A and B are shown apart, each in its own frame.
Chain A
């Protein structure tokens, strides 16, 4: 199958008896029946016989030496069954565990605590209330140390060394990493008519899924089998890591990821709490549940971003971009625990050249330790493409500001043209397909861009008149264009902890023609049970209601790296399509045997093979499935049954793209920003289920509004986390979000079996810059850092911008 076989809009599939598209098209979700009844099965819903509960004591300091821990009073609590400290774990060689980036992190602190909220002790008790009571009974004596809070001070000669656990470590430097051609950039900048440089911060934010992280571990001492129900986006990778960390035999580990209440990258990593629940079960001999509270989630689990960037863009006076270079200071927190392919310590940040045509680019990323929680790659960031898109889209707007050019016009002038694809970027990415000008034009058409600019000009003119209303809102229009690369591997270039990024899939047709599809990836709300059934339905023509999708249980699904980086549809979706194609090919042979003809004499109609020129002589997939399991004699070498097993190793990433336009009104007297409109044109290739795709885009756009206007995890001078609850870490509500206006263009991926591209993170990646560009357009200033809370906006309006990541003036 090639991409050219794919229906563009995906809505012309035949309809099943149940009213569903036999293939692509809008279909209500299979998942919903349980969720709307309150019958989802989340980790915290699990209640096993004899199960105990647990809680973690966390550090109140950002940086302190542990002098002593006294657990005697906690141990004396009548409902406490076990108290575990770093010392206990040292005896088991479990006090430290590897991170996904080749560093180590403490399961429970032994020598020092290195961020506020770090795990210090663990209590297992008969109920959760008692476990938390017992935490209060643990006496920890700390010797406070000066904290490194500002990433820009982390490499100062007198900065305290955070990672003195690492032998020979004398500073807080983690790595330097470069991509692109520095010399070509030098030359381009030397000859440029216009150069614009800008510092900007993509502040620390948090994915904050509505369900926090948790696990229930059960080590069965009789069988030696460990079962762990856990909030993971990557159950198979977790199983392997548990085997490596704990020395447990991998065939005796079953990881079950039941319904997941949102992930967004928060549930990729392995947290100490998961490991501790396993230890708790080993120690007590019964199942142990651990579920963190919201503060624990915000303060200790994988944060996102925290990139301090300096960009420089070179251009001609006419607005032709010549080069872009960027220096990044990356705040990785106290342990390097980012989850990304090994060869790319800064993730895919070096896709920062964006959607534009220019020859020279270079980036240098310096990563440092600070006394903050670990993480960095999370919150639907496509492995740091969020930071990259924000950088380039801000730099292009800064250039437009200096050139006094319309930002949409400047973008149109520099966008890659359709005939340039496949396009090799200056930093080595090969963009598979795209028609960028069409997407930008479509977004401008939907927005009524020219009218909006006219309205803005009229408002500005009115505001400049004597006696103008001082409360008249300042109108801003922001444009952003993004290109993502999603769907990692190929496995030879991309691995996590040595595990190649390829995913397995198994499709089995039962004798009656009903199918089961087993996936390595794990839904956290994306609707895999529906979408993947539609993929199979599209290829073999049986109704999606006849296809059951199984996932989230390592004992019952093939190995694969899991769901993050928008990789489910690009990788596992391809695996499902290839498996379905193999079943279809085998069905042809079996149909030929049943019809006593050659397979070459058969032709396909959706769901049925029939004799060419005689449609009455044919077999449906259900008839073929029964024949495959029957006593029908099959050709030499053809085994019975009708199934296929595939490991899909993607030849390249898929490159979704889109054009976004945001309109804001800023209250000049309060600094309050209101998003009036948001237009999003996304091109993710053909849409398997347009309803689900639009839903994912809606969610990502809300993320963008949140990050641009509300969300930030800041710290005070002592390293206290100032975003440790939903009263402090503000998520967008229905009031901050406008009614999204979506548009579509369709450019299939040439290398994906059904032409589709990932979309799960597109809007989160592309939208923050549009909102920020709109706010700055309203204020008519070149740059200030997000989030544009009323205070930040007000200060920016006064020409005294705030640093949003620190509560330090």
Chain B
């Protein structure tokens, strides 16, 4: 079947099997490999993307379900103006190690901050509880989201990385 999906603002279209998962559509058909596949069962959240502004697990969403809808992935966080404050926060607060859960984690965090620009620690922990991380023990992820909340206008205002 043919699907047309807007991904990060750009129209994409392809013939897909009805059973094709959105995560595979994004990774294999569109070529955006920032969205990761981690578990099959919606538990780990490495595949989290936005569907019409709402975070979903793309490993248990069919590409067909996104037909005619808008998807946003980690590749859509950075704009010409610079990094999203969430991205900058993850750098500043060492919110990532192996980087595998990071795209999904950041998409969840961005959605949280859009709904609640100044969340406390408990709110952040609850928001990211559907995203597993094996490296960080979550401490610095919470701090990274707090950093983003405290620097809403950081885009283009911050030095990014050392090298």
Q: Mark B128-163, 1 if CB is under 8 A from A, else 0.
A: 111111111111111000000000000000011111
* Contact partner, B134, options A29, A293, A699, A725, Cβ 8 Å: A699
A47 to B24 alpha-carbon distance, docked (Å): 13
| B73 in contact with A30 (CB, 8 Å) | no
Instruction: Write 5 A-B pairs (CB below 8 A) sorted by A numbering.
Output: A31-B99, A36-B96, A262-B98, A544-B163, A731-B134
With most chain A CB atoms within 10 A of its CB, the pick from B92, B96, B103, B121 is B96
Q: Of A207-215, A300-308, A333-341, which binds chain B?
A: A207-215
Q: Tell me the chain A residues, 287-311 only, with Cβ under 8 Å from chain B.
A: 293-295
In the assembled complex, the CB of A708 is this many whole angstroms from the nearest CB of chain B, namely: 14
Q: Is B116 close to A, CB under 8 A?
A: no
Contact A735 B129 (CB under 8 A): yes
Instruction: Return the chain A residue nearest B34 by Cβ.
Output: A38
Which residues A473-532 have CB closer than 8 A to chain B?
A: 524-527
CB under 8 Å from chain B, chain A span 21-48: 27-40, 42, 44-45, 47
| Beta-carbon contacts under 8 Å, B50-70 to A | none
List A439-478 residues whose CB lies under 8 Å from chain B.
Answer: none
Pick the residue among B27, B41, B83, B99 that contacts A35 (CB under 8 A): B99
Are B98 and A692 neighbours in the complex by a CB distance under 8 Å? no
Q: Which residue in chain A gives the minimum CB-CB distance to B124? A: A734
Contact with B161, one of A28, A261, A696, A737 (Cβ below 8 angstroms): A28
Whether A733 sits at the interface, judged by CB under 8 Å, is yes
Interface residues of A in 120-148 (CB under 8 A from B): 128-129
Contact with A along B88-108 (1 / 0, CB 8 A): 001110101111111100100
Are the C-beta atoms of B41 and A294 separated by less than 8 Å? yes
Whether the Cβ atoms of B97 and A695 lie closer than 8 Å is yes
Chief secondary structure at chain B's binding surface: loop
Closest 4 CB pairs between A and B? A38-B34, A525-B98, A261-B100, A35-B99
Task: Verify if A100 is at the interface (C-beta below 8 Å from B).
Answer: no
Contact for A37 among B28, B74, B130, B131, CB less than 8 A = B74
Q: Which residue of B lies closest to A763 (CB)?
A: B137
B101 and A39 contact, CB distance less than 8 A: no
Report the minimum CB–CB distance from A585 to chain B (whole Å): 26
A40 to B43, CA, bound (A): 22
A4 within 8 A of B: no
Residue of B nearest to A46 (CB): B33
Choose among B36, B40, B97, B137 the residue with the greatest number of A CB atoms under 10 Å from its CB: B137
Contact-residue bracket for chain A: 35 or more
Residues of A bordering B, CB below 8 Å: 18-20, 27-40, 42, 44-45, 47, 128-129, 207-212, 259-262, 264, 293-295, 524-527, 533, 544-546, 691-692, 694-703, 725-727, 731, 733-735, 737, 739-740
CB-nearest residue of chain A to B122: A735
Chain A minimum-CB-distance residue to B163: A545
Give complex CA distance A212, B37 in Å.
9
- Complex CA distance for A660 and B80, rounded to whole angstroms: 46
Complex contact A32–B91 (CB within 8 A): yes
B39 near A261: Cβ-Cβ < 8 Å: no
A262:B94 contact, CB within 8 angstroms: no
Q: Does B15 sit within 8 A of A, measured CB to CB?
A: no
Which residues of chain B are near A37, meaning CB under 8 Å?
Answer: 34, 74-75, 77-78, 87
Contact B41 A38 (CB under 8 A): no
With contacts A28-B162, A38-B34 known, is A739 near B121, CB below 8 A?
yes
Bound-complex Cα distance A293 to B142 (A): 29
Is B126 part of the binding interface, using a Cβ–Cβ cutoff of 8 Å?
A: yes
A77 to B98: give the CA distance in the assembly, Å: 38
* Minimum C-beta distance from A725 to chain B (A): 5
B44 within 8 Å of A (CB atoms): yes
From A19, A208, A726, B162 is in contact (CB under 8 Å) with A19
Q: Are B38 and A734 in contact (CB under 8 A)?
A: no
Beta-carbon contact of B40 and A294 below 8 Å: yes
Chain B, Cβ-Cβ closest to A733: B129
Known A702-B138, A731-B134; contact A210-B44, beta-carbon cutoff 8 A:
yes
Q: Which of B94, B125, B141, B160 has the most CB of A within 10 A?
A: B94
Q: How far is the CB of A555 from chain B (nearest CB, A)?
A: 23
The answer to whether A261 touches B36 (Cβ under 8 A) is: yes
Q: Give min CB distance, A572 to chain B, whole Å.
A: 18
Bound: A261/B162 CA distance, A: 23
Contact B129 A545 (CB under 8 A): no
B32 interfacial by beta-carbon distance below 8 Å: yes
Looking at the assembled complex, report how far the CB atom of A272 sits from the nearest CB atom of chain B, in whole angstroms.
20
Contact of A38 among B43, B73, B83, B160 (CB under 8 A): B73
Knowing A29-B91, A38-B103, A262-B134 are in contact, say whether A726-B44 is a contact too (CB < 8 A). yes
Once A38-B32, A210-B101, A211-B100 are accepted as A-B contacts, the answer to whether A28 and B43 lie under 8 Å apart by CB is no
B34 touches A699 (CB 8 A): no
How many angstroms between the C-alpha atoms of A295 and B75 in the bound complex? Answer: 28
Contacts of B129 in A (CB 8 A): 733-735
With A38-B73, A737-B137 as given contacts, are A295 and B162 in contact (CB-CB < 8 Å)?
A: no
